[in-house]
Amino acid sequence: MPTTSSHPRHNTVKKYILASHHTQIDSMASKPLDYIPYSDETQLPTIMKLIEDDLSEPYSIYTYRYFIHNWPQLCFMANDQDKCVGVIICKLDYHNERLRGYIAMLAVAKEYRKRKIGTTLVEMAIHAMKEQNADEVVLETEYTNEGALSLYQHLGFIRDKRLYRYYLNGVDAFRLKLFCKTMVGEREIGEVEEGVTKALI
């Protein structure tokens, strides 16, 4: 297996972390967290356990493999030594002639929350998708999940639409969208975003 310094994808992640305004040294912990890309299927059981403990929606192993096997470069983990405490899983493909990134899963262990781990993972994923020329990034989250809505709004996502009874538990969702490229004038985008947000509140 290549070392961290010799693997191109590891170098990209390393460069991003060094450039990010987030530090790997957590203010609430004495030891740094390691933010690493997915490398092989030996990590899958740990990823599945973390997501199953955190998210309300159940997924089969085939769902995990669909995302991770097709877009391994868009899966990142936060590790506290050998313990996985955060993970993000994404994909990138075409939708209506636009290259769309999709954040499928984001989970952080309960005892590690409010330490910017989720924010850092999302920023890493967005950075990776932008490097692959994504036009936009979308995701769904429960409309009652104020923590997630605040996180994504802080990163520039807008509320694109409300999806009624989207989850198996009957809860509605908001589809959130981040524009990676300016498709129209910036003023026009601002007007569209403001109008959509007002309509959904």
| Same domain, residue pair 95 and 144 | no
- Whole-model pTM: value is 0.78
**Beta bridge partner(s), residue 86:** 78, 108
| Same domain, residue pair 177 and 87 | no
Domain that holds residue 157: 136-201
Query: Any idea which residue has 């191109």 for tokens?
Result: 8
CA distance 49 to 88: 13
| Same domain, residue pair 23 and 70 | yes
Query: Any idea which residue has 């936009």 for tokens?
Result: 136
* Phi, psi for residue 179 in degrees, rounded to 5: -85, 120
CATH code of the domain covering residue 195: 3.40.630.30
Across the beta sheet with 98-108, the strand order is 34-37, 75-80, 83-95, 98-108, 136-142, 173-179, 158-163
| Same domain, residue pair 118 and 148 | no
| Same domain, residue pair 98 and 182 | no
pLDDT at 89 over 90: yes
| Same domain, residue pair 79 and 56 | yes
> What is the per-residue pLDDT across 95-136, written as a single tens digit (0 to 9) for each?
999 999 999 999 999 999 999 999 999 999 999 999 999 999
**Beta bridge partner(s), residue 90:** 103
Give the dihedral of Cα atoms 140, 145, 147, 152; nearest 10 deg: 20
- % of the chain at pLDDT higher than 90: 69
- % of the chain at pLDDT higher than 70: 75
| Same domain, residue pair 31 and 45 | yes
